[in-house]
Structure 1
Amino acid sequence: MKNLLPANGFLSVIAQWFSANILALGREMRLSYLPPLMVYVAAGISGLTGIVGTFYVKEKLGLSAEFLAMLGFWMMLPWALKMPLGHLVDLVWRWKGLLVYLGASLIMLSLLIMIGLLGHTEAMAAMASVETWFVISALLAPIGYVLQDVVADAMTVEAVPRVDENGQKLDPDKRKLMHVTMQTLGRVAIIGGGVLVSIANVFILRDAGALPEAEKEAVYLFVYQLALIIPLVSIFGVVFASWLQRRDMKHFLAQGHSRQEAGKLLGLHSEPPSINWWILGGGLVFTILSLGVGLSRISGGEEIVFIISMAIVIFLMWRLTGELEPDARNVLVGTAVMIFVFRAIPGPGAGSTWWMIDTLGFDQQFLAVLSLVGAVLTLFGMFIFRR
């Protein structure tokens, strides 16, 4: 009996941790959190085509790792515009759902191009080279995901109610806790989506490496067809948000509030912020210069874009920090430096994956297993360090 006590005590600690860190999120979940979480899930499951895309490029296109590294640089540029796009969302708050539809359309177009390349290669090649189609697809997807991401960030603010069901203002501390929960659930949705697609890839890609060429291409095609669910999930989130808004409006109208009063309770008539031309102008200048350098194909284009972007970011940071209190300014600068150092560390690129495929003999399913392990560890680590 004594030997069982330590084991029982350990299990009790695990049960308490599970209840406090995982079940608590379920208990704090609200229906209004679901719309932005759907958009985040769409971002999480975007990796569904990652492994198939890697093998398609390696087996069919013959693009060099250097070219893919260069393409990856341009694919990351839309994410550099997240700050001006976020400000744009604030300015067009009432119409932000349209940006999700636009982002979903770009993602769907990117997937349809790849479906066309796999299912109707000759017809696509008759209009443009297969490599050109692939580059277009690769550049469209990140633009769509950035648009959806900035709107999802804005929707998290809207998802936390300002008043209770009786129209009474919620306690500020309670709302702060709800915001923390919303942000945590957002991270869980993204990482959890990665876990789901990794599991799907493990089963879909089993023995794919040993299949005849025609059957292998059919598997690849099925994965891209399945990925069409990604934009549909985000669109469902926006549609569901509209339904919740109409439901809550009817609820307050039934309580005797006027339409204007109900709109204020729901935060529908909030005044948009003043236009920050430094942010919008900086983003516009960055876009024009980046596209100009990229289209000109001058030597060292990536380095030029990096210098331009750093100059613009430092200038905008200087303008922003000048309006903050010293403590807030120090926190912002410190956080920015840490993020820059993390993002500036170069990745191994496609060459490392190809080395694992060619030298170590990793097939599609094994890479899917590695992806699953990484996603699960990331999710577990997030809960371990959750405060």
Structure 2
Amino acid sequence: MVVITVGFMVQDVVADALSVQVAETDEEMGQIQTLGRMALLVGSISVGYLSGWLAAHIGTRATFACAMLLPLLVVASVPFIRISARARAAPPGGGDGGPLGGGKARLVLGVGLAYAAFTVALEALAVPFGQELVLVVSAALIGLLLHRVGISRAVVIAAIVIFLFRATPGVGQGYSYWAIDKLGFDQTFLGLLAQVSSILSLAGLLVFRKTIVTRPVSFTLGWVIVAGTVLYLPSIGLFYGLNEWLGLSARTFAFIDTTIAAPLAQLTMVPMLILIAKTAPRGAEATMFAIMASLMNLALSASELFTRYLNDAFNVTQADYSSLGRLMITVGAVGLVPLLALPLLKRQEHHL
């Protein structure tokens, strides 16, 4: 599993770095990031359907064998990659060579291994406030890496915006507990909603692709977060019986709500990837994407931590979700906080 995880991380970083190196213009860079996100969604949706069908018809071993052949398609496509003129003209990212800038690559690898050992040690020793310690140490290490790569005002602002957007807390499992116990939803129906959400997220990228690429990142992030908050209101209404007032069953209301809100689900990821690509130092794109990927994972960890804090504060558990409505309202309001960072990003975009 460790090898698989590392392999996935490396291929993700290389693909993101290529999006910078093959693009001639910023618009092309945005198009490539959008198409890459769409490809990821298509892959996850198709794998979800095909894996079960293939396993039933040709067996699990043959299914794994087919999956192992897919990387060969990537290798076969390498001769068709053409590096853009501006990428060829860019200075190398490090003075001592290497795919990630030589010494910087060794620094990233060394810090990553030290961090992994630290995390495992905290887990094994069951240290109190271990998750909080990991969060603080991770932030310090990422700050060190950004400093060594060559931090600038643009990178700092990009890091702040990305962290705020990814660190916003969610409702947690309380909503699922309530939906199953009170509304009679089962895992099959919740799985159906998840599949519909994935498909409509892909449709949202198709519909808004031009807007994402041509408009400033701050504009896209701004309207998506406002629209997402507005479209979150029906979920709050469902808790307070809005579906009964409208004469709809809970399942019908939830399905309609998912259909309306799902197209926006992936729209914030593409602008954030474009932002990373624009702020990455020439010749060190892979290093910057690797560090920013760590930052996004750190933000997700912070989001989980904040979600736990909110659930504890409102005392929402599997046995008691009477305060779930107030928790959902709070989460919706906190989701607007990243808007405060957009004026900084808007001023900085003129220099990108």
Q: What is the TM-score normalised by the length of structure 1?
A: 0.46
Q: C-alpha distance in 2, partners of 1:106/1:136?
A: 16
Query: What does 1:77-156 correspond to in 2, within 5 Å?
Result: 77-81=199-203, 84=206, 88=210, 91-92=213-214, 94-119=215-240, 121=241, 124-129=243-248, 130-156=250-276
Query: Mind listing any 5+ residue stretches in structure 2 that lack a counterpart?
Result: 1-112, 119-135
Query: Mind listing any 5+ residue stretches in structure 1 that lack a counterpart?
Result: 1-12, 163-171, 246-262, 268-387
Shift of residue 31 of structure 1? 4.8
Query: What does 1:204-353 correspond to in 2, within 5 Å?
Result: 204-205=314-315, 208=317, 216-217=321-322, 219-245=323-349, 266-267=351-352
Shift of residue 241 of structure 1? 0.4
> For residue 297 of structure 2, what is the aligned residue in structure 1?
187
Q: C-alpha distance in 2, partners of 1:16/1:124?
A: 47
Asked if structure 1 preserves the Cα contact closer than 8 Å seen for 2:197 and 2:259, the reply is yes
Deviations 1:281-337 (A, max 9, x none): xxxxxxxxxxxxxxxxxxxxxxxxxxxxxxxxxxxxxxxxxxxxxxxxxxxxxxxxx
SS at match of 1:146: coil
Asked if structure 1 preserves the Cα contact closer than 8 Å seen for 2:167 and 2:303, the reply is yes
> For residue 143 of structure 2, what is the aligned residue in structure 1?
26
Counterpart AA for 1:240: L
RMSD: 3.7
Classify 1:70/1:202 alpha carbon distance in 2 versus 1 (closer, same or farther; 3 Å). same
> For residue 67 of structure 1, what is the aligned residue in structure 2?
189
Shift of residue 203 of structure 1? 4.1
SS at match of 1:63: coil
Q: C-alpha distance in 2, partners of 1:203/1:24?
A: 30
> For residue 165 of structure 2, what is the aligned residue in structure 1?
42
Q: C-alpha distance in 2, partners of 1:236/1:108?
A: 15
1:196 and 2:309 are equivalent in the alignment: no
SS at match of 1:49: coil
Shift of residue 40 of structure 1? 5.2
Asked if structure 1 preserves the Cα contact closer than 8 Å seen for 2:139 and 2:298, the reply is no
Shift of residue 221 of structure 1? 0.8
Query: What does 1:350-365 correspond to in 2, within 5 Å?
Result: none
Q: C-alpha distance in 2, partners of 1:148/1:174?
A: 24
Asked if structure 2 preserves the Cα contact closer than 8 Å seen for 1:110 and 1:141, the reply is yes
Asked if structure 2 preserves the Cα contact closer than 8 Å seen for 1:41 and 1:190, the reply is no
Asked if structure 2 preserves the Cα contact closer than 8 Å seen for 1:111 and 1:227, the reply is no
Deviations 1:46-95 (A, max 9, x none): 5x223121022112211233222222210111344587579536641x43
| Alignment coverage as a number of residue pairs | 216
Counterpart AA for 1:183: A
Q: C-alpha distance in 1, partners of 2:137/2:331?
A: 34
Classify 1:225/1:31 alpha carbon distance in 2 versus 1 (closer, same or farther; 3 Å). farther
Asked if structure 1 preserves the Cα contact closer than 8 Å seen for 2:236 and 2:329, the reply is yes
Asked if structure 2 preserves the Cα contact closer than 8 Å seen for 1:36 and 1:237, the reply is no
Asked if structure 2 preserves the Cα contact closer than 8 Å seen for 1:44 and 1:193, the reply is yes
Deviations 1:21-47 (A, max 9, x none): 75331233655344465345434535x
> For residue 51 of structure 1, what is the aligned residue in structure 2?
173
Asked if structure 1 preserves the Cα contact closer than 8 Å seen for 2:236 and 2:325, the reply is yes
Q: C-alpha distance in 2, partners of 1:144/1:84?
A: 11
Q: Which has the larger radius of gyration?
A: 1
Q: C-alpha distance in 2, partners of 1:190/1:15?
A: 17
Asked if structure 1 preserves the Cα contact closer than 8 Å seen for 2:161 and 2:345, the reply is no
Asked if structure 2 preserves the Cα contact closer than 8 Å seen for 1:115 and 1:221, the reply is yes
What's the % identity of the aligned pairs?
12
Q: C-alpha distance in 1, partners of 2:337/2:115?
A: 33
Classify 1:35/1:57 alpha carbon distance in 2 versus 1 (closer, same or farther; 3 Å). same
Counterpart AA for 1:126: W
Asked if structure 2 preserves the Cα contact closer than 8 Å seen for 1:115 and 1:224, the reply is yes
Deviations 1:245-266 (A, max 9, x none): 4xxxxxxxxxxxxxxxxx5xx2
Counterpart AA for 1:142: A
Q: C-alpha distance in 1, partners of 2:159/2:200?
A: 20
Classify 1:210/1:81 alpha carbon distance in 2 versus 1 (closer, same or farther; 3 Å). closer
Q: C-alpha distance in 2, partners of 1:182/1:201?
A: 28
